[in-house]
Structure 1
């Protein structure tokens, strides 16, 4: 019998997405084939302490089911590289760019990808300006205020006035010192999974996120009572093909490897698509759409994990 691969599944971490990461990590642990793998859950607490130290003698490959700063930002990826450990997902650079919404949009613009009108500024710029309206006046209401380095809709607000903008920026500054403000667009929300290496990656079935309210917030993502996803998304074939192609372009724009989920706005009246962001370690919970999109494409969750681990080992061996 072939010796099972020792897989360390990292979960938790100091970011505001700690709880979501724990759910993702447990789901990965449950779905890994016990015939092929010897998995162990390694929990990182909110202070950054690991429940188990990793090195080449104790683990063959690492699955960092971590979301947000610290875990998805390239920090852990760099640490694993210093240990010489193969790991699932994007490398240091792609993780860092994918985590920072301002840097990510600069990469998109450089590759001529369609993005929503937006601005970004630092906490210092916000505190010292005498004209806060001047920072966002190029945008129309409503606007979405976001911490640049966070996910799962945490710290995000939809605003329709300067009073609301002030409060929203203060909320976002509680999570990050760089703020991104996007112009709201009346559009359908789509997502597409990407799997593979930089040159030969593939795109999954497209998912539509059915928003019950004005936008898809944290509560709807993780605690909603109804299934929020329609798979495959009921959109015209040419739009679906464009989503897949733009997903691969966005993936390559940040130097992706392994996996990502690319989020879109689809303005149905005009037929325009906008690339919102690339998530380099999308959720793997029972609600999460990345694995569900690939299941709809003929790649069930356990086999998806097999493929991700194969990609991690292939990169390490190159």
Structure 2
């Protein structure tokens, strides 16, 4: 995501030495660095004036932090400094934060404390303002932490918007060119509909997709599954489908890629019915080179691929 940071959040990152510093600050820097920092020449002037006024050592620290940690090609984007609309006339600094924020897709500002920007302005402009507590939340309970890993135990309630959950997961899926899906109930009419309507729409064309599932002959048999995946729609991807001989050999329901691992307690059935979710819990982690889950040949029979 592209995010806009207030200097109040930057100064909370002051102790970043993992050996002698504040471990929470180290963690905060790591979580912020998963995203791209949006800047302007005008905003950087505000930063420098603020840290210069804080006293000896602060400006030097700020310049070092931003050079080494934040202001890299991958981690920052500098937008134009032209004077735009005045959202908060009495505070040019907050106005610049908002102006930049509204140029980004997710419209997120990290600010401490977040009440510094009036709630009515936040609501009117449809932006998100989050503080250090929100940054450190790992349960995916706000728009920042939903896209900051790890997401541990995000609760999905019954009756939420299925498309919104699909779009959230899609931000991770669209970066993958190889995924494995473990779900005993995927090879059903309903399960394949979930796959088509909520997952595949975000997977890049040409990606390798391996499915490990079971068959319920009262729903779909082997020939019917083969016919479905021979349809033109599915030819955009490379499918390999294995049947797990025994449910006791199957793994927890998950989508595992080269970059991310998404664990969904109730699998793709989270997408529910009539566009409304069923209740479940979702965890998302960076793969970090973990070995992909592999089942033994004796536990599988190949159906497609």
TM class by shorter chain equals under 0.3
Q: TM-score, normalised by structure 1?
A: 0.24
Larger Rg: 2
Which structure carries more helix by proportion? 2
